[in-house]
Structure 1
Amino acid sequence: VMSDLVFRTEDIDKTVLEKIILTANERGMKELAVQDPVTGSLSYGKLLTAAAVLGEKFEHLYASQQTIGIMLPNANGACATLLGVMSAGKMPAMINFTAGAANILSACKAAEVRTVLTSRAFVEQAKLGAVVEEIGRSVEIVWLDDLRAGIGLKDKLLGLLRKTT
């Protein structure tokens, strides 16, 4: 009964990204959006700018792909990456890094994932080198560290402009 009420009264015709943009506009771009103990806090404005910058990159780099894998810890970077994939019009597929290489590859095959986004620091800290090496034989591993190094001022300015569209 209560769940029916929620669905009847809530606007459910929006994507996660659209709802976050709407919330950011309602609460304010400087308000806290996400927080983790390692990298600290991100405002809605910074989160959406990061998502827009990444989304622009993903849109061009993976134009022929519908689903992009994400293998990151539960942190600000994962949130920005997830929203970036959505911003690019792609479907994010969260990879369970504890599942082992065979299960990850099976999931990638089922979801038609050809690219997995991750970071070197995460792979090193989680001791996933062997897993990444194994799955890297079948899917492209993209190091977000390298992608981030290639983001310049122009990309950031365009991200500022795109963050709410």
Structure 2
Amino acid sequence: MNENDNSIFNIKPNKNWFTIVLSVPIIILSLFFIVIYIMLIYFEKMFVLIPFVIITILILLFVFKNLLWIFFGKIEVNINTTELTITKKKLSSSKSNYYYLEEIEFVDIKNLYFLQSINKVPLFGGIFLSLINFSKKDSESLLLNIVTEK
């Protein structure tokens, strides 16, 4: 079975333009400070600044990670006969959570299959699900509360 046959949702993150515009000066300032710190460490032998270089690099990596998520990330919710899979994909990495359907108590499994069958209806099913996805203000607001047996 093809992986797209059992896909329920394919959601892209919200383009938060405030975050994007704010991250550009943060990136420019971080790169500027890294160059200044490295020059001070190399020429003035101020080794006390090494922790600040590391902290600045970590801030820069955090901003880049968020920008990659905004522009290239997506959330996939897949279901097959035995398990429900929620995958958060970034550019080169992904994080998946797997739930066996027989262990799920709180989520109505018929509703999940109903969404999958809506998606397979020609023309209107895909349009209906895309309208649901488009109406979401933020993809993080997609919440599947799954309670499993203990």
Question: TM-score if structure 2 supplies the norm length?
Answer: 0.24
Larger radius of gyration: 2
Which structure is higher in RCO with an 8 Å CA cutoff and minimum separation 6?
2
Structure number having the greater helix percentage: 2
